Structure 1
Amino acid sequence: MYKVLVFGMTSNMGGIESFIISYYKRFDHSKIHFDFLCNTHDKVAYEDELHKLHSKIFKVTMRSKHPLRYKSELNSFFKRYAADYDCIWVNVNSLANIDYLKLAKKYGIKRRIIHSHNSQNMDGKLRAILHDYNKKRISKYATDFWACSPSAAVWFYDKDLMSKVVIIKNSIDLDRVRFDGNKRKQLRNKYNLDGNLVIGNIGRLHFQKNQMFSLEILSSMVKKTPKIKMVFVGSGPDKEKIIRRAKELKIEKNVIFTGAQKDISGWLSTFDVFLFPSKFEGLPIAGLEAQGNGLPVVASNNAIPKEAVLNSNVKILSLNDSVSTWSNVINQFGQLNRINANIVKMNFKKAGYEINAAVPILEAKFKG
């Protein structure tokens, strides 16, 4: 059996976490086994599911909270367990911390995969400096270089590594996000959404996802269409800032915060249009999941790359376009029908983003 130590699961149920669990649930567990190393002592996303798959979950202290304790715990872990693994697979949004790869090499894990899931820095200046510094050294510690998209590869790796980069598509489980009319009725009743144009956004409440711009769009739309709601599904550091801005714009009654949610299918089914104005992404799971639901999507050209526009009811705009342009397009797309589930499945399979077709490809990369 090929044993892989995976880094990338956090307490946040985000894109990387969804990507990992979607693939691993479908692997042949008699041939490939995952255990998980996490930099938190809190419960991590999908922890119960991972235990059912007989995966071990090891937890160390976060470096930013207790640097000395983190260093001690991490070194002790690799010293004790490194010999149990054939491979370490590190899934991250930046190269600010490559300690996992350095220690994996030091303690003899032969195959060391670094996997880029983002295309720009989403943290502070210090982490940006660390990313640039480690970008020049990553080839000393990693043996395999993966990325979720070409743009994520360009940001993560130096030019001399680009020929070695393997693109791993963030394929999704269409059954998990397919349209459900009953869930739509239940959630629209629960939140008094009937009769409203419902604009949805799923993602971390963070400047990367650009929810502040979403509020500007909503403010413009409310003046013409009072019966409108914007639903933010997710949690994050910018929540209070977004709430304050909604109050300043006097649209707080038109905004709903649900917090983090597990029933993605239900919320996507509740929306009339998906708004995705991110400042940058690698290859966003949320944009693919919205398309997997058949939902009309209005996104920035920084959020969904051309190769990931799979359905005909997707409109890509620039963040330089005016608020009124965004508002008009959202109004138009909010009236469109969803794409039929069979057509959605055909589109995803053809482009390589349907999980069941993609699993054997990734499985082979571990076996190989």
Structure 2
Amino acid sequence: MEQNAQPIRVAQMMTDMNYGGVEMVVMNYYRHMDRSRVQFDFFALEGSTLPQREEIEQLGGRVYVVPKYTHLPQYEREIGRLFRQNGYQIVHSHMNTLSVLSLWGAKRAGVPNRIAHNHSTVGRGEGAKNVMKYLLRPFAAVYPTRLCACSRTAGSWLYGEKPFRVFNNAIELDRFTYDASKRKAVRQELGLGDELVLGHVGRFCYAKNHEFLLDVMAEICKQRPDAVLLLIGEGESEAAARRKAEALGLQENVRFLGRQSDPAKFYQAMDTFVLPSRYEGVPVVGVEAQASGLPLICSDKVPKEIGVLSTTKFVSLQAPLEIWADTIICNAEKTTRRDTSAEMRAGGFDIVTEAKKLEEFYFDLLK
């Protein structure tokens, strides 16, 4: 860019901006972008807690709070007004199947470059939500000019055979590198010694399948009564998970740690990370776990693309609980923790490298 030229501003269309995985992904890219060349403006729905707002504004971005899409006329009117007012040349929507709504507004406002970016798939059991996804899926490629996804699985689910670009859910690898001294310190902080420690980081919701994880934990405790499960996160189904843990007699084995500002340190204390999701795009926590050198045990609903390390295993949700327990215990006991950053970088999960690719993608659109 010419000296003193203004950075291009990209409108990043979000749903709620709280502590979710999509927000984490977009913020990771924003932090590592050359912000003298590219700036992000975030569009979040009313009711968002916006914990990222102060950081976004410090980095030079702007935050716009717009009506919920359930009030569609007001939503479309407001985003259209802001698109025209700011003269955006690029709108990048992270609303999955709901991107049809934001990109319809972008097209009507005359935005020439409209990106749909899918971060999820679909799973059984969420009736109304799934009906909406399937109703909107045929329109996924109508209004965007470019299609993107977090994985081949997520892209193929939404776009079918249409061409799309994958941008990995990359992270700052150095923050998660295994450190034996940190492991000892965090374990001491938690009052842990040589116990087998399982971990899970994620919102308490249907997709993350906490109730199944607790069933698995009960099975593990038959072999390893000393086992401890660390649950980091909060959400609508947390109370139900607490009741189930108590009903299974796991009060001493399961620790609900709530939302943590720095979950990275807790990976150090774990012996394995369990991800029994009912559906996923590419879970950032699975990337973080592998970057910490942890064996990762996933359900068969998690895209195989996440499996960078040989210690990452996939188990069917239909498999007996004994299989889950044996797989988790065996991999935890035979894995030697180490620095895995070179493998994770080669797998495409280094945010420094991946942010540069997104930056150039934007500039290519404007040529």
Q: What's the TM-score, normalizing by structure 2?
A: 0.90
CA distance in 1 between counterparts of 2:272 and 2:102 reads 40
Shift of 1:100: 1.4
Change (3 A) 1:76 1:11: closer
Q: Structure 1: which 5+ residue stretches go unaligned?
A: none
Matched to 2:192, the amino acid is L
CA distance in structure 1 between the partners assigned to 2:125 and 2:106 by the alignment: 25
* Among candidates 22, 26, 29, match of residue 23 of structure 1: 29
Q: 1:96 to 1:36 in 2, by over 3 A?
A: closer
- Aligned partner of 2:93 in structure 1 is 90
> Offset of 1:224 from its aligned partner?
2.6
Q: Secondary structure at the match of 2:32?
A: coil
1:364 aligns with 2:357: no
SS class of match (1:136): helix
Distance (whole Å) between structure 1 residues aligned to residue 343 and residue 131 of structure 2: 40
8 Å CA contact retained: 1:287, 1:304? no
8 Å contact from structure 2 (residues 122, 279) kept in 1: yes
Aligned Cα root-mean-square deviation (Å): 2.1
Match of 1:325 in 2: 323
Matching residue's letter, 2:77: N
Question: Which stretch of structure 1 is more off in the superposition, 104-113 or 349-358?
Answer: 349-358
- Using the alignment, how far apart are the partners of 2:99 and 2:306 within structure 1? 29
Shift of 1:308: 2.4
Three-state SS of the structure 2 residue aligned to 1:105 is helix
* Letter aligned with residue 87 of structure 1: I
Structure 1 residues 273-292: aligned runs within 5 Å = 273-292=272-291
Residue of structure 1 equivalent to 2:39: 33
Q: Which whole-Å CA distance do the structure 1 matches of 2:50 and 2:174 have between them?
A: 23
Give the distance between the partners of 1:251 and 1:140, measured in 2 at CA: 50
Question: Which residue in the other structure is 2:271 paired with?
Answer: 272
Q: Please, which moves more after superposition, 204-213 or 176-185?
A: 176-185
From 60, 65, 89, the equivalent of 2:66 is: 60
Check whether the contact 1:96–1:127 (CA below 8 A) recurs between aligned residues. no
| Superposed counterparts of 1:111-130, under 5 Å | 111-121=113-123, 124-130=126-132
Note the C-alpha offset of 1:123: 8.2
For each residue in 1:119-168, what CA deviation from the matched residue of structure 2 results, as whole angstroms up to 9, or x when unmatched? Answer: 215884333233222222233321111111111112212x3xx3321122
The alpha-carbon deviation at position 104 of structure 1 amounts to 1.2
Q: Which residue of 2 aligns with 1:175?
A: 174
Separation in 2, partners of 1:337, 1:328: 14
CA contact (8 A) 2:174 2:341 kept: no
* Equivalent in the alignment of 1:199: 198
The answer as to whether partners of 2:8 and 2:39 remain within 8 angstroms in 1 is yes
5 Å-filtered alignment, 1:287-326, equals 287-305=286-304, 307-326=305-324
Q: Is the 8 A contact 2:11 2:41 kept in 1?
A: yes
Distance between the aligned counterparts of 1:336 and 1:17, measured in 2?
35
State the distance in 2 between where 1:100 and 1:163 align.
20
- Following superposition, the deviation at residue 228 of structure 1 comes to 1.2
Aligned-partner Cα distance in 2 for 1:179–1:79: 48
Task: After superposition, give the CA deviation of every residue in 1:247-273 in whole Å (9 maximum; x if it has no partner).
Answer: 221112211111111212201111111
Report the secondary structure of 1:223's partner residue: helix
Indicate if the aligned counterparts of 1:12 and 1:45 stay in contact, CA closer than 8 A.
yes
Q: Contact (CA 8 Å) 1:118, 1:281: kept in 2 or not?
A: yes
Q: What percent of counterpart residues are identical?
A: 25
Change (3 A) 1:76 1:298: closer
Shift of 1:45: 3.9
Q: CA deviation at 1:174?
A: 0.4
Q: For residues 353 and 257 of structure 2, what CA distance do their matches in structure 1 show?
A: 33
Count the aligned residue pairs: 357
AA partner of residue 237 (structure 1): E
How many Å separate the matches in 2 of 1:105 and 1:5? 13
Matching of residue 187 in structure 1 with residue 190 in structure 2? no
Q: Distance in 1 between matches of 2:256 and 2:77?
A: 40
Q: Distance in 2 between matches of 1:298 and 1:125?
A: 27
Secondary structure of the residue that 1:59 maps to in structure 2?
strand
The alignment partner of 1:232 has SS state of strand
Which of the residues 74, 78, 101 maps onto 1:76? 78
Q: Give the superposition deviation at 1:80.
A: 4.0
User: Which residue in the other structure is 2:3 paired with?
Assistant: none
